[in-house]
A and B are shown apart, each in its own frame.
Chain A
Amino acid sequence: MIIRAHILVCGGTGCVASKSNEIMAQFEKHALANGIEKEIKVVKTGCFGLCEKGPIVVIYPEGATYSKVSPDDVKEIVEEHLLKGRIVKRLLLGDAEAQDVARSLDNVGFFSRQLRIALRNCGVINPEVIDEYIARDGYAALAKVLTKMTPQEVIAEMKKSGLRGRGGAGFPTGMKWEFAAVQKADQKYVCCNADEGDPGAFMDRSVLEGDPHSVIEAMAIAGYAIGSNQGYVYVRAEYPIAVQRLRLAMDQAREYGLLGRNILETGFDFDLEIRLGAGAFVCGEETALMTSIEGKRGEPRPRPPFPAVKGLWDKPTILNNVETYANVPVIFNKGAEWFASIGTEKSKGTKVFAVGGKINNTGLVEIPMGTPLREVIYDIGGGIPNGKKFKAVQTGGPSGGCIPMEHIDIPIEYESLVAIGSMMGSGGMIVMDEDNCMVDIAKFFLEFTVDESCGKCPPCRIGTKRMHEILERITQGKGELADLEKLETLANSIKQSALCGLGQTAPNPVLSTLRYFREEYLAHVVDKKCPAGVCKSMMTYTIIADKCKGCSLCAKKCPTSAISGEIKKPYLIDQSKCIKCGVCMDSCKFAAITNR
């Protein structure tokens, strides 16, 4: 029997958590019950990027995209769509519902503005079947490089493409490879940084889960370019699905002779090993990562010497991020000119962002460099939910900064983001609305770096701790005007004196919020008020007598019995008993309680 329909079910971490494995089992079960099990094929695929609307199921050849599918919906999809050819309209993604036709992914607003290079295979192929990767030009770049190009030509092509590191700092990848290639050594190493640690960033996980072969292929190309036969992928143990699929992909590549000895009969040897990280944020820093691969405590060391000269076990080593590698095979398949034609003058190609926070379409988006921030947030991200006002967007995680409304039209590229006090980072993008307190946000990120500081150098170990204490004071209403100056002085000296990137960038969230939201800091320090109503100790819950109907609901709900009064007369809150939990405000049906 010929397969007439492919059912692609998202197998990314997000969708697996919302039962996509069970959905796949249900498809198999109902196909069997209807006698069409030999005509259809259920395919587990990688992340489509639209995690907010998951689990996602796409049925080809129609290309019908179903969102928020539950295992209970499967029977209807099988009986209606697969058996009778009637699309189940109520489950179609977004505005497709209103239309009478099945719509492919490309037509959905969320996808139509994107350009998918690094994510080209995510949501298209089954990551656990190497043949599907090969069908999409997989390993063609490796074959071309090994049979038709010299290592020097490979590096020249990489430099011409203008690809820069996607892990955060944006160092030109071709140059990095060249530095390692010119070193004379008996052994060199190729490493992949999959220790994705920024809160809210998950693009590397999605690439490893949805398209592991692209990373394997690129690492082999890098090995050929610099003269290395051994690679390491450093991935955190908290990514079990990514690790499992990468392992499977490596086994399949070995079976096909695309890893190991004498690859494609060219005499080139290259193999990979996985190293699991225990989840320390500092191990995303290159020198700490390599120290951890060596089996030692993950601590950074001063540079120079740079890894290209003295890296893993003191041998020349290149270290690139997952997303950087995912771009490499495409550069060789389509040419460096093609890649360099996308993006801006200094930032070429695309960048993947994990968009989260106060935004409608939480998920993964890949856009050409130079796309205005506004387009990502409003056109692709679908804007801010519940009619709230946009306040800021945080990029670059704990190393980045907050970008306010006044800069929302800037093009997204490495330099422009640094110029306004943030950075590209690995691609986390957290959107904040009017209900977010910027001092609290700065405190949150700093708390993260205080926790994750490895403790080796004093500026980071002690300095960030002191900064955090000052922020803690400010959010408790005990701040003074001089604290803001102290924060700035401390921040600048940490930036200049910390040993590694973690410490040097840790003050950024504080500095950027001080720069753009100083009046909010002043409100905390001078007026002892939190304008967004987040910092608890500064809030006073009061009942507005005019609005209170005396229904007694708040008094019943109050866990500390701080509210008292007579039915049908305005109630009162005893401030000495109030623990500021907010239950009264949430339960009041007349909006008669305020916390400002």
Chain B
Amino acid sequence: MKSLKDLEAIREKAKLELSLRETTGKTRVIVGMATCGIAAGARPVMAAFNQELQLRGIQTASVSMTGCVGVCRYEPMCDVIDPNGEKTTYVKLDAEMAKRIVAEHIVNGHVVYEYTIGAAEKQ
């Protein structure tokens, strides 16, 4: 490294990695990763969330996991908790749906209603 520009480039890259350790003011994606969730395909869903966030360079969202919440028939599912505490539960997910949730909900702030548990209950 030689110049100021190089230093800033390193900073941007390193910041993205360290953003994982920030806990406040973030959107939290919590994927159900109990036996039921994993059997239904939660691993690729979580990987898709992580990949999409990294692809877009988003530092304001984190992906973590949780156990079984008891509605195994809806797995794979996840909760998206906005920084203001608002919680949205998405169900019967796959990798493609995860990408759309990142694009519409996390980036643009629009809940993807057709994937929510409310929409699934109506069917």
A residues with a Cβ closer than 8 A to B are 1-6, 8, 60-63, 83-86, 104, 106, 124-125, 131-132, 134-140, 143, 147, 255-258, 264-265
Q: Given A85, A104, A255, which contacts B23 in the complex, CB threshold below 8 Å?
A: A104
Instruction: Enumerate 23 A-B pairs (CB-CB under 8 Å) in ascending A order.
Output: A1-B47, A4-B46, A6-B20, A60-B21, A60-B23, A61-B28, A83-B33, A85-B30, A85-B32, A85-B34, A85-B64, A85-B65, A86-B67, A104-B23, A131-B14, A134-B7, A135-B14, A135-B15, A138-B11, A143-B7, A258-B7, A264-B2, A265-B2
- Is there a chain A Cβ closer than 8 Å to B17's Cβ? yes
A139 to B10, CA, bound (A): 11
Q: Are B7 and A264 in contact (CB under 8 A)?
A: yes
Q: Are B11 and A134 in contact (CB under 8 A)?
A: yes
The digit string for B1-23, where 1 denotes a CB below 8 A from any CB of A, is: 11110010011011101101101
Whether A106 contacts B18 in the complex (CB less than 8 A), given A2-B50, A134-B11, A264-B4, comes out as: no
Q: How large is the interface on B (under 10, 10 to 19, 20 to 34, 35 or more residues)?
A: 20 to 34
A264 to B3, CA, bound (A): 5
Q: Are B4 and A3 in contact (CB under 8 A)?
A: no
Chain A residues contacting B3 (CB-CB under 8 Å) are: 264-265
* Candidate in A85, A125, A132 with the most chain B CB atoms within 10 angstroms: A85
Chain A residues contacting B62 (CB-CB under 8 Å) are: 60-61
Give chain B interface residues in 22-67, CB to chain A under 8 Å: 23-24, 26, 28, 30-34, 46-47, 50-51, 54, 62-67
Q: Are A257 and B20 in contact (CB under 8 A)?
A: no
Main secondary structure of the interface of A (DSSP, over half): loop
Q: Are A61 and B11 in contact (CB under 8 A)?
A: no
A58 to B2, CA, bound (A): 35
Whether A85 contacts B33 in the complex (CB less than 8 A), given A2-B50, A2-B54, comes out as: yes
Q: Given A8, A84, A136, which contacts B33 in the complex, CB threshold below 8 Å?
A: A84
Q: Given A83, A85, A125, which contacts B18 in the complex, CB threshold below 8 Å?
A: A125
Chain B residues contacting A85 (CB-CB under 8 Å) are: 30-34, 64-67
Give chain B interface residues in 96-121, CB to chain A under 8 Å: none
Chain B residues contacting A138 (CB-CB under 8 Å) are: 11
Q: Are A4 and B66 in contact (CB under 8 A)?
A: no
* Candidate in A5, A135, A140 with the most chain B CB atoms within 10 angstroms: A135
Q: Are A134 and B14 in contact (CB under 8 A)?
A: yes
Query: Least Cβ distance of B31 to chain A in Å?
Result: 8
Closest residue of chain B to A43 (Cβ to Cβ) is B21
Q: Given A84, A256, A257, A264, which contacts B65 in the complex, CB threshold below 8 Å?
A: A84
Closest residue of chain B to A82 (Cβ to Cβ) is B65
Q: Are B11 and A3 in contact (CB under 8 A)?
A: no
Q: Are A256 and B1 in contact (CB under 8 A)?
A: yes
A134 to B10, CA, bound (A): 7
Known: A61-B63, A85-B34, A106-B24. 12 other contacts (CB 8 A): A8-B21, A61-B28, A84-B33, A84-B34, A85-B31, A106-B23, A132-B18, A135-B18, A136-B18, A264-B4, A265-B3, A265-B4
Chain B residues contacting A264 (CB-CB under 8 Å) are: 2-4, 7
Whether A131 contacts B13 in the complex (CB less than 8 A), given A61-B63, A264-B4, A265-B3, comes out as: yes
A136 to B67, CA, bound (A): 33
Q: Are B11 and A2 in contact (CB under 8 A)?
A: no
A139 to B14, CA, bound (A): 13
Chain A residues contacting B15 (CB-CB under 8 Å) are: 135
Chain A residues contacting B32 (CB-CB under 8 Å) are: 85
A88 to B13, CA, bound (A): 32
A62 to B66, CA, bound (A): 10
Q: Are B33 and A4 in contact (CB under 8 A)?
A: no
Query: Least Cβ distance of A487 to chain B in Å?
Result: 54
The digit string for B54-96, where 1 denotes a CB below 8 A from any CB of A, is: 1000000011111100000000000000000000000000000
A91 to B28, CA, bound (A): 23
Q: Are B24 and A104 in contact (CB under 8 A)?
A: yes
Closest residue of chain B to A146 (Cβ to Cβ) is B4
Q: Are A132 and B4 in contact (CB under 8 A)?
A: no
Closest residue of chain B to A85 (Cβ to Cβ) is B65
Whether A124 contacts B67 in the complex (CB less than 8 A), given A61-B62, A132-B14, A134-B11, comes out as: no
Chain A residues contacting B24 (CB-CB under 8 Å) are: 104, 106
